[in-house]
Structure 1
Amino acid sequence: MASLARWCFRHRRLVLLLWIVALIGLGGISQAAGNDYKDAFSLPGTDSQKAIDLLQRDFPAASGDSATIVLHSRTGAPLTDPALRGPATEMLDKLATLPHVSAVHSPFERGGETQISKSDGLTAFASVDFDQQGIDLPKDDIQTFVDTARSSDSSSLQVEATGQLVAVIEQQEQSYSELIGIVAAAVILFLAFGSLLAVTLPLITAIIALGVGSMLIILFSHVITIAEFSPILATLIGLGVGIDYALFIVNRHRIGLRAGKSPEEAAVTAVNTSGRAVLFAGITVCIALLGMFALGVSFLYGVAISAAVVVAMTMFAAVTLLPALLGFYGMRVLNRRDRRRLAEDGPEHASTSGFWWNWAKRIERRPQLFAVVSGVVILVIAVPFFSLRLGSSDLGNGDTSKTTKRGYDLLADGFGPGFNGPFSLVAEIRSPQDKATFDAVVRAARTTPGVASVSEPRESPKGQAEIATLYPTTSPQAEDTSKLLHRLRDDVVPQANQTNTGIYIGGITAIFEDFSSTLSDKLPLFIGVVVVLAFLLLVAVFRSLLIPLTASVMNLLAVGASFGIVVAVFQWGWGSSVFSVTGGPVEAFIPVILFAILFGLSMDYEVFLVSRMHEEWTARRDNQLAVSLGQAETGRVISAAGGIMTLVFASFILGDDRVIKLMGLGLASAIVIDAFIIRTVLVPSLMHVFGRANWWVPSWLDRILPRISVEAAEDIEEIRHTPLPADALPAAAIPIGGGHVHEVPGQAHHESDAPRAGEPTH
């Protein structure tokens, strides 16, 4: 690391040029290629996937996606009035001629009377079938479809388009949220550094790395399937970790400058210490993200890869671009006051006085109390997590500025909320008996509680499949709708199907329910893989069993507490007016993505905190001193980093997309809990309680573990000769587990502190 940092510092013009060329070059290529983002669901073996496969094989006209055109009379006259029916029919005829539209089922055609509200006749809907799934349809064609329908909207006739297909083109960019997050980060950086020039270093590094990573994601979208929200999620993570990684290195660099080192030596030391911690922290984030592959759900592969690419770029920029920028800035990384003090008073070592040293000593004195109180607080916050209900929120959660939301509300008012998320009953017809069986299933479904209506079965052109549409009485996101689906599959269909005819229940609501069940079944394996891999990495880095175990438990607590807040707001509806959301289920894929990100980010702070403690332990062999000094010297920068990441994540709550709001709140709340409760209170308290056991590893395991060091040997030697604060010596002189104490100036040493079996030697 030292050689890399020195080379980048001395060849700073070349390094900066290479990054700029990469940014501009990839930007040009990605602009020419365009993106190919798409939300592709594939759930092999599920009922909904079998329904899709059967329709694609035997009923292609009904196998594509669908949308709904909602008509509403604004004058109070029924829609059958010629003055309203004429323009509506003309518009529907135009839709039938558009590309990829396979059929339009008008409420004004024969048999369409059921598509007009019976209560007042003021609302009607037309179902539009497409010849492909939404992910395969060009967005321009979807936009043309919506524009053609909406062009007939007038003062007398309201026309809206709704459905998941239409929602694809209504997703809004989060550019303002990103800008707000960057401004908030700049404010905290200025408070931390007191220098405008120093503020620009983490921002420039993070933004360039994020730019390169974003361009790579666009190019990757042509090779692998990447979901529509992946770039926003990658931006969310990239801004947070990119600024934080650069912050830790710049902070260590400034400490070196104030200690009298030259800009080059300070930069080399910063990258050789904090830079190593950045690499290990970033690797844990990537491990957690790529752990989503263990789920075997292809929809999440692109999400994992895109986020991991951005994190990798931020790591690479932190250890290459940042030392080059430090070479350009020189001593100006310090503010004028610090430079003047250095010139007048000479070098000064990092001070352990002030708030964080006093706080560390307070925890050292009463670790049991702080551990219990902080642990109880986190557990209380996590309580709502046990009520987590996975599913998919429906279009009723959107803003009224969207045609999908307005159409949803009109359908719910005119026909009931279940009309916004119908199920598809699909049967494989091989004989007259199969047809009779399917008719029996349809009749049984109509009498099932929770079913509003079931359409007459439609036969495929070759007569090898039939499809019927079932409308629940409850909305797509309602828990009763999920219960109805399971009742139909487990009881109603099997009881009516005495001939083992292939009958499946599909539709967008069923797809999301199957997606939720699939992820829930595989979630324990995913969590286990991520936790075990991160545990093994920390064991190798810190030569300890207890520290990685504690870190894993703490990270799980942080994730659980953040889920508790998410459930309270997005499921229970607490503070719904503040966050502009309505209560509903948590999207099925959110826990997976949040866990991967949060576990990785939590490990970031663990590595930064414990690596500093490990330096002190390796140099002085005193647990209390190592924990207190490590906490005191990292507390300020971890709190600043936590504040930056919290504000960056929280800024995404300001958008109008429910999924992005949910991820923003979940990530922001987790960082607050992790940075300001777990790393500043709970972890130090427990490490004081555990004592020397923190650093124990069996001798046989120590021999076979790879040698991965976060600290360099020269830095350990420098720490050994760094004077200790006066009030640290009495605490350090207390024997742990017996042993005579010999005090050496600037160092506390125990006879019993000689390396024991299983402890690393230096």
Structure 2
Amino acid sequence: MATLLYRLGRFSFRRRGLVAAVWLLLLVVLGLAAAAFHGPTGDKFAMPGTESQRALDALAKEFPQASGATGTIVVAAPQGGKLDPAAIALVIKEAAGIPGVVAALDPFKSGAVSADGRYALVQVQFASALKDVTEAQREAYTKAGSSVTGLRVEHGGEVLNAAPEVGGSEGIGVVIAAVVLIVTFGSLVAAGMTLLNALIGVGAGMGGLFALSGVVELTSVTPVLALMLGLAVGIDYSLFITSRYRQFLAEGVAPEEAAGRAVGTAGSAVVFAGATVVIALAGLSVVGIPFLSVMGLAAAGTVAVAVLVALTLLPAFLSYAGTRVLPRRQRTGENADAGGRGFGHTWGR
């Protein structure tokens, strides 16, 4: 394995243009396929064969009006006071008047009042499933009871749970990772190259995932999980190889040889770690729960792509970067020996 990876690292280093072109072409093809065959994600988290799923199926069949999304309105009286049933009735009336709401339960009848009489829970039942509840309904729900004087009203429950999306939080994570890499490497080129390598791997993995979403039903959390794991392992695996490459360069090894050795040594750890993660994620399919199987296989595919990118594209990037992956003081020969034959001097020659 180490010998094969060593040869792969040297080949990618020498043929950097070819390797980069292949990955760029693959990225474009997967992106176009994702745009052409992208399908919608769902929120169906069924667990066939379980008692809870059988109960939910029976509820949807026998009492469809009670199988929709639910909400909980928390009502509190002022400090030292007790809830007034007349004020609670106003909250219930506003909640029951929301379009799509089939019932709002009186907490005094359902027994959802605290022992001191200060707090109560108003259960709100929607007719539609969570995915069918509109933003207008959610907005009306968050305002129900807020105008009732003398009460503190807070809204929660299933109906306010939005589907996870890829957004600003992931971008903040990338920025933090970039800062950490710059501080760790002491080189903007090394940090940027490592991060770019990970992003390309994630882009290819997510492109393939969305290209298959037209024929495979994905839950809303599947792309988020694949993105998070792909980005994490992509940075981690690239960091392994880049660190070992820098170590060999600092010892005076020629760049191409250093790349081969880095992939042959650290790359072996990357393959082992990646295979372990892929097997663990793919093992989720053994449980027999469809959405877990899709989540595990999607994340495993993204991790596998991250491994391939680290072993092939990263050596090509290292070839383009040269000694700029080293801190400036090492490149300028500040750590050279008294004879002036340090690494910086050797590379300059």
Per the TM superposition, whether the score is higher than 0.5 is yes
Q: 1:65 aligns with which of 64, 68, 72?
A: 68
Q: 1:154 aligns with which of 135, 141, 147?
A: 147
Distance in 2 (alpha carbons) for counterparts of 1:169 and 1:336: 46
> In the alignment, which residue of structure 1 is the partner of 2:157?
163
Residue identity matched to 1:51 = A
By how many angstroms is 1:239 displaced?
Answer: 3.5
SS of alignment partner, residue 241 of structure 1: helix
1:618-656 Cα offsets, whole Å, 9 max, x none, are xxxxxxxxxxxxxxxxxxxxxxxxxxxxxxxxxxxxxxx
By how many angstroms is 1:318 displaced?
Answer: 0.7
Q: 1:60 to 1:273 in 2, by over 3 A?
A: same
Distance in 2 (alpha carbons) for counterparts of 1:126 and 1:249: 55
> In the alignment, which residue of structure 2 is the partner of 1:54?
58
Residue 128 of structure 1 pairs with residue 134 of structure 2? no
Residue 305 of structure 1 pairs with residue 297 of structure 2? yes
Residue 185 of structure 1 pairs with residue 180 of structure 2? yes
Q: 2:9 aligns with which of 5, 8, 27?
A: 5
Residue identity matched to 2:170 = S
> In the alignment, which residue of structure 1 is the partner of 2:288?
296
Mapping for residues 237-636 of structure 1, pairs under 5 Å: 237-339=229-331, 340=333, 341=336, 344-345=340-341
Distance in 1 (alpha carbons) for counterparts of 2:62 and 2:283: 37
> In the alignment, which residue of structure 1 is the partner of 2:347?
none
1:640-684 Cα offsets, whole Å, 9 max, x none, are xxxxxxxxxxxxxxxxxxxxxxxxxxxxxxxxxxxxxxxxxxxxx
Verify the 8 A CA contact 1:92 1:104 in the aligned structure 2: yes
By how many angstroms is 1:148 displaced?
Answer: 1.6
Higher RCO (C-alpha under 8 Å, 6+ residues apart)? 2
Distance in 2 (alpha carbons) for counterparts of 1:207 and 1:175: 12
1:712-756 Cα offsets, whole Å, 9 max, x none, are xxxxxxxxxxxxxxxxxxxxxxxxxxxxxxxxxxxxxxxxxxxxx
By how many angstroms is 1:291 displaced?
Answer: 1.9
Mapping for residues 189-228 of structure 1, pairs under 5 Å: 189-190=184-185, 194-228=186-220
Q: 1:325 to 1:92 in 2, by over 3 A?
A: same
Residue identity matched to 1:80 = A
Distance in 1 (alpha carbons) for counterparts of 2:278 and 2:83: 60
Query: Structure 1 stretches of 5 or more lacking a match?
Result: 349-762
Q: 1:94 to 1:291 in 2, by over 3 A?
A: closer
Query: Structure 2 stretches of 5 or more lacking a match?
Result: 345-349
By how many angstroms is 1:228 displaced?
Answer: 4.4
SS of alignment partner, residue 13 of structure 2: helix
1:40-59 Cα offsets, whole Å, 9 max, x none, are 13140x33223223233443
Residue 36 of structure 1 pairs with residue 41 of structure 2? yes
1:382-420 Cα offsets, whole Å, 9 max, x none, are xxxxxxxxxxxxxxxxxxxxxxxxxxxxxxxxxxxxxxx
Verify the 8 A CA contact 2:92 2:105 in the aligned structure 1: no
Verify the 8 A CA contact 2:285 2:294 in the aligned structure 1: no
Residue identity matched to 2:64 = P
By how many angstroms is 1:322 displaced?
Answer: 0.5
Verify the 8 A CA contact 1:4 1:320 in the aligned structure 2: yes
Residue 93 of structure 1 pairs with residue 97 of structure 2? yes
Residue identity matched to 1:104 = A
1:165-224 Cα offsets, whole Å, 9 max, x none, are 43345889633661464045315532xxx4332232322212221233234444455544
Distance in 2 (alpha carbons) for counterparts of 1:233 and 1:188: 27
1:132-187 Cα offsets, whole Å, 9 max, x none, are 4x4xx24xx35332212123433626554433343345889633661464045315
> In the alignment, which residue of structure 1 is the partner of 2:84?
78
Distance in 2 (alpha carbons) for counterparts of 1:345 and 1:39: 65
Distance in 2 (alpha carbons) for counterparts of 1:336 and 1:131: 62
Residue identity matched to 1:154 = S
By how many angstroms is 1:18 displaced?
Answer: 4.3
Residue identity matched to 2:68 = D
SS of alignment partner, residue 70 of structure 1: strand
1:543-593 Cα offsets, whole Å, 9 max, x none, are xxxxxxxxxxxxxxxxxxxxxxxxxxxxxxxxxxxxxxxxxxxxxxxxxxx
> In the alignment, which residue of structure 2 is the partner of 1:452?
none
Distance in 1 (alpha carbons) for counterparts of 2:285 and 2:34: 26
Distance in 1 (alpha carbons) for counterparts of 2:290 and 2:65: 26
Distance in 2 (alpha carbons) for counterparts of 1:266 and 1:222: 43
> In the alignment, which residue of structure 2 is the partner of 1:537?
none
By how many angstroms is 1:242 displaced?
Answer: 1.8
Verify the 8 A CA contact 2:74 2:155 in the aligned structure 1: no
SS of alignment partner, residue 42 of structure 1: coil
Residue identity matched to 1:65 = G
Mapping for residues 740-759 of structure 1, pairs under 5 Å: none
So what's the TM-score if we normalise by structure 2?
Answer: 0.74
By how many angstroms is 1:317 displaced?
Answer: 0.9
Q: 1:106 to 1:18 in 2, by over 3 A?
A: same
By how many angstroms is 1:30 displaced?
Answer: 4.8
Verify the 8 A CA contact 2:83 2:117 in the aligned structure 1: no
Q: 1:262 to 1:65 in 2, by over 3 A?
A: same
Distance in 1 (alpha carbons) for counterparts of 2:51 and 2:83: 43
Q: 1:171 to 1:71 in 2, by over 3 A?
A: farther
Distance in 2 (alpha carbons) for counterparts of 1:71 and 1:330: 62
Distance in 1 (alpha carbons) for counterparts of 2:221 and 2:164: 12
By how many angstroms is 1:234 displaced?
Answer: 3.7
By how many angstroms is 1:288 displaced?
Answer: 2.0
Larger Rg: 1
Residue identity matched to 1:67 = T
Residue identity matched to 1:72 = V
Verify the 8 A CA contact 2:178 2:191 in the aligned structure 1: no
So what's the TM-score if we normalise by structure 1?
Answer: 0.37
Verify the 8 A CA contact 2:89 2:106 in the aligned structure 1: no
Q: How many pairs align?
A: 328
Distance in 2 (alpha carbons) for counterparts of 1:336 and 1:66: 59
By how many angstroms is 1:328 displaced?
Answer: 0.9
